[in-house]
Structure 1
C-alpha cells in the first residue's frame, strides 16, 4: 500500500524533471548553441569585412581543429591518419587559396596528397591502404573544400592584402562569402526551428533521424528570404539570384550535414568532440560549410553576369 501511494509522487517528480530538461526535442541545448553560434559568426564576419588575412587564419584554425577531430575519431576505429602531412596540407591550402588563387589551391591539394603517400612509405605496410585513403579523403573533405570560401578574396592582378582592405573598401568577393555564411546559418536556424516544432517525416532515418522534411522546407523558406535580401542590399543582384543561391546553399549544406552524420554513424560516435557547448565538435559546425563553400563558388561564378 505504501509503495502504491508513493508511486504517483514518483511519477509527478519524474515528469517535473522532464519538463525542466533544457535540451529540446531536436537534441541541442538551444541557449548554449545560440551563444556559441553567434560568437563564431561575429568573429568570422569581423575578420572577413575588416581584416581579410584574419578571416583566413580563423578559417584555417577551424580546419585544423576539424582535422584533429577526424584523426581522433579514426584512431579509435583503428585507422591511423598520417597526421603530419595532413596537418601541413590543412594549414597550406587556405593560404595557397588566398595568396595564389585556384591554381595554387589545386597544387597544394596535389602536393599534400603526394606527401601523404610518401609519408606512409617510411612507415609499416600494415594498414597503409586505409591510412592513405583516409589521409587524402580528409584533405579533400575539410581543408580543400573550405578553402573555396577563401578563393573570392584572392585579388586577381593586384597584391592580395595582408592588412586591412585597401582604402577601406570591402570587395564584392567578401560580400559573397558573407552571403554564403548567412545562408548556411539560415539553413541551420530555420531548419532547426521548424523541424523541432513540426518535424514528423525524417529525411534519412538511418543516417540522421532528427532531420525532417519539414525542417528542410523551413530551411529553404528561411534561406530564400535571407538570400533575396542579401542580393538586394549586399550584392546588387536581381532578387531571383537570391532564390538560386538559397536553394543551392540549402542543398549543399544539407548534403554536408548528412555526409558527416554518415561518417559518424560508421565510426559509432554521436559528435566529433564536445569542444563547442551546444554544438558538439568543430566538424559538427563545419559539416555544412565545407560542402556549401565550393557550391557557393560555382554558383557565384555562374551568376556573375546577372
Structure 2
C-alpha cells in the first residue's frame, strides 16, 4: 500500500506566517527527493496492481508484509525516541494472525486474534517488572490496533466476488486525495489547517483533496462496483476525511517522539509507516461503507 506523492504535512505549499518562501527551494517545496518518491510510489503501486489482476489474494500478502515492516519501524521509533518498549514479537505474530484470519473468517477472525494478542502482550511484559509496565503494554496494544487491526479491514475488501473493484476504489480515492492535496497545496496553499500539529498542511490543500477524492469516489463506485454516484460522493468525502485525519495523527505521534520520519527504507518517502498513515484508518471506513453500499 502506498501513496504516489509526498507525505502531506511535509509537502503542501503553505509557508509559516510572516515567512516568505525562499526562491532557491521553489523547485522542491516538499523538502524531499520528489523524483525518487514518485518512482518508489509507482513501483509499489505496480506491485499492488499485479497482485490484484493475477491472484488477488496476493494483495493480502502485500498488506501483511507492509504491516510487519511498519510494526518494526514503529517499535524502533518508540524505543529510541521515548524509551517505550513495544512487545514486538507478540505484536508481529498477532498482527499476521489478524490479517490472515480476516480473509476466511472476516471481522470475527481479526478481533479474536487482536484480543489474544492483547492478552499475550500483558503477559509478555511481566518479567520486566512494574516500572513502565502500563506505558509499555499501552504502547503494545496501540501498535496492535493501529497497524494490523486496521489493516485487516483492507484484507477484508478482497474476498467478495468484486473484491478487486473494492480494493481499487479504496486505493484510487486515497491516491486521488493525496495527489489533489499536493497540487492544491503547492499552487494555492496559504492558510494553515492545523498549525500546531502540521504547519504545512493547508485548507487549500484539503480542498484539493476533497475535490479529487469525491470525483474519484463517484467514478470508482459507478464504474468499478456498479454503485450509485451519490454513494461514491459520500465514499470519497469520507475517505478524504479519514486520510487527512490519519496524516494528522501520525504527525502528532512523530512530533511527540521528536522525529521527522518513522524510518528511511523508502527513498524520498521516509519509512513505510510514513506511507501507511492515511491508508490505515481509510481501510476501516472503506470496508464499512462498501459493505453498506455494494451488494456482496
Q: TM-score, normalising length from structure 2?
A: 0.88
Q: Does 1:81 align with 2:71?
A: no
> How far apart, CA to CA, are the structure 2 residues paired with 1:22 and 1:201?
18
Contact 1:97 1:104 in 2 (8 A): yes
Query: SS at the partner of 2:265?
Result: coil
Unaligned residue ranges in structure 1 (runs of 5+): 1-16, 156-170
**Distance in 2, Cα, partners of 1:188 & 1:255:** 12
2:156 maps to 1:151: yes
Contact 1:97 1:154 in 2 (8 A): no
1:240 maps to which residue?
A: 230
Alignment match of 2:125 (pick from 117, 120, 137)? 120
The answer to whether the Cα contact below 8 Å between 1:100 and 1:154 also exists between their aligned partners in 2 is: no
Distance 1:278 1:93 in 2: 30
Alignment match, 1:271: 261
Question: What's the counterpart of residue 28 of structure 1?
Answer: 32
Name the structure 2 match of 1:198.
188
Q: CA separation in 2, counterparts of 1:215 and 1:247?
A: 14
Q: For residues 184 and 64 of structure 2, what CA distance do their matches in structure 1 show?
A: 32
- Say which structure, 1 or 2, has more relative contact order (CA 8 Å, 6+ apart): 2
Q: Output the CA distance in 2 between the equivalents of 1:35 and 1:22.
A: 21
> What TM-score comes out, normalization by structure 1 length?
0.85
Q: Which residue number in structure 1 is paired with residue 147 of structure 2?
A: 142
What whole-Å deviation, never above 9, does each CA across 1:110-162 have from its counterpart, x for those lacking one? 0111110011123332211101000000000000001101112235xxxxxxx
- Asked whether the equivalents of residues 202 and 209 of structure 1 are also in contact (C-alpha less than 8 Å), the reply is yes
Partner Cα separation in structure 2 for residue 195 and residue 214 of structure 1: 6
Conserved? CA contact 1:96–1:105, under 8 Å = yes
Deviates more, 1:236-245 or 1:120-129: 120-129
Give the structure 1 partner of residue 13 of structure 2.
none
Partners of 2:206 and 2:78 lie apart in 1 by: 30
The farther-off stretch of 53-62 and 26-35 is 26-35
Q: Hey, what does 1:108 align to over in structure 2?
A: 113
Could you tell me how far apart the structure 1 residues matched to 2:71 and 2:26 are? 30
Q: Does 1:189 align with 2:209?
A: no
Runs of 4 or more consecutive aligned structure 1 residues displaced over 4 Å after TM superposition: none
Q: Which residue of 2 aligns with 1:173?
A: 163
What secondary structure is seen at the aligned counterpart in 2 of 1:153? coil
1:50 aligns with 2:54: yes
Q: 1:189–1:219: 8 Å Cα contact kept in structure 2?
A: yes
- Larger CA deviation: 228-237 vs 205-214: 228-237
Residue number among 206, 215, 219 corresponding to 1:229 in the alignment = 219
Length, aligned pairs only: 274
Over alpha carbons, which structure has the higher Rg?
A: 1
Q: CA deviation at 1:252?
A: 0.6
Deviation at 1:45, TM superposition (A): 2.4
Q: After alignment, is 104-113 or 83-92 more displaced?
A: 83-92
Matching of residues 290-301 of structure 1 within 5 Å = 290-301=280-291
Partner of 2:5: none
| Partners of 2:250 and 2:277 within 8 A in 1 | yes
Equivalent in the alignment of 1:98: 103
Structure 1 residue 69 corresponds to structure 2 residue 73: yes
Report the Cα offset of residue 210 of structure 1.
1.1
Pairwise CA RMSD of aligned residues? 1.8
Q: Give the drift of 1:213.
A: 0.5
- Write the distance in 2 (CA, Å) between the matches of 1:100 and 1:184: 26
> For residues 169 and 116 of structure 2, what CA distance do their matches in structure 1 show?
31
